Amino acid sequence: MAASCGEWNKNEGATVQANMRPVNCPAPLCDEAATPGGTRRAGRSRRRALDARIVDAHGRYDDGMTRRSALVVAALAAGAALAGCATNTTPGGVPIDARYASANQDSRVLFVVLHYTVADTAASIRTLTEPATEVSAHYLVTDDVLPVIYCLVPEERRAWHSGASHWRGHAMLNASSIGIEIVHPGFRERADGTREYLSFPKAQIDALISLLKDIVRRHGIRPERIVGHGEVSPQSKEDPGPTFPWKRLADEGLIPWPDAGRVAAQRAVFEQQLPDAAWFQQMLLRHGFAPLAGGVLDEPTRRTISAFQMRYRPASHDGTPDAETAAILHVLVTPP
């Protein structure tokens, strides 16, 4: 299969930069500098618009493939795709009758899972594209001054980014999600052994938000289904970490956020009597996390509380249940 939207091509050993139209990628499916919804894939596309060239696996330009020839190839591929529809066959050539279309359908994509790479851009691309790693994501957002959004796996294909995961009754989310990796160093160890989590560049978050809005619009993804890797796999992961600006996503209308007034009122109640571990376990389940059992404050419960705190109360996220955490959880789970 030819390279598609920057996906690693094992057969031909080439990758196509995300701001260039790939070979054998019909224009309606992989626009030159945009996702199917129009989000620009690469901030550098304007500088290269007059000479889009294929880049091989070693980063060398193939001067024989100019923008004009790439457009010709793409047009031919698009024409072949349309011809296939006209003759009523599957992409593999099996005859079908496509005169009827059911109204009872929606996107297979139910979730977006956000990750950070704990690596620079070059290392992130290697990890997410080389066969030996068995790891991938649909998109990679770089931390450049002008961020680049690389499409590594087409959205209709399953990327390997979430592994053992759970959210709102759904398990193994690779099959039903779009994975977005964000180039970010994660954290660094201080001299006393504690972690210092680093911030995300504003330009990078701006690019991510544009991509998220595009994906949400095209797939109809619900706000409560945009999640972090640490939320769907809290026993082993914590990305995108406590410095990720979830509130910014809420301000953009992408995710829900607890009402501050309700939180303050409920916090006063819980400061008089903090709920027990069983209450936290039940409310975390209702919020979307995997089930927790036993009614005791064990390590899995602490890790899950910590994942919740990293999003909604990042200033303190050690997994200790307290009145503020309980109030935020109550407000999110209980409608006004």
pLDDT in tens, 40-79: 555 444 333 323 232 333 333 334 334 444 443 344 444 4
**Among 4-8, 147-151, 311-315, 326-330, whose mean pLDDT is lowest?**
4-8
Residue holding tokens 């890797």? Answer: 229
Mean pLDDT of 111-116: 98
pLDDT in tens, 161-201: 999 999 999 999 999 999 999 999 999 999 999 999 999 99
Helix (H) or strand (E) holding 167, with range, is: strand 166-167
Catalytic residues: 181
Residue 38's pLDDT is what? 67
Instruction: Assess whether pLDDT exceeds 70 at residue 244.
Output: yes
**pLDDT at residue 336, as a whole number:** 85
Average pLDDT, the chain: 82
Question: What is the arithmetic mean of pLDDT over 215-222?
Answer: 98
Listed residue (153, 154, 112) closest to 129, CA to CA:
153
Per-domain boundaries in the chain = 14-86, 111-251, 260-333
Give the per-residue pLDDT at 40.
Answer: 57
Neighbours of 134 (CB within 10 A): 8
| CATH number for the segment(s) 111-251 | 3.40.80.10
Q: Which residue has the higher pLDDT, 280 or 11?
A: 280
Give the right CATH number for 260-333 from 3.30.420.10, 1.10.101.10, 3.90.10.10, 1.10.287.110.
1.10.101.10
- Residue 12, pLDDT > 80, answer no
Looking only at the bridges linking them, the beta strands covering 54-56 and 61-62 are antiparallel
Residue 87 Cα distances to 26, 99, 334, angstroms: 18, 12, 53
Copy the structure tokens of residue 251: 């301000």
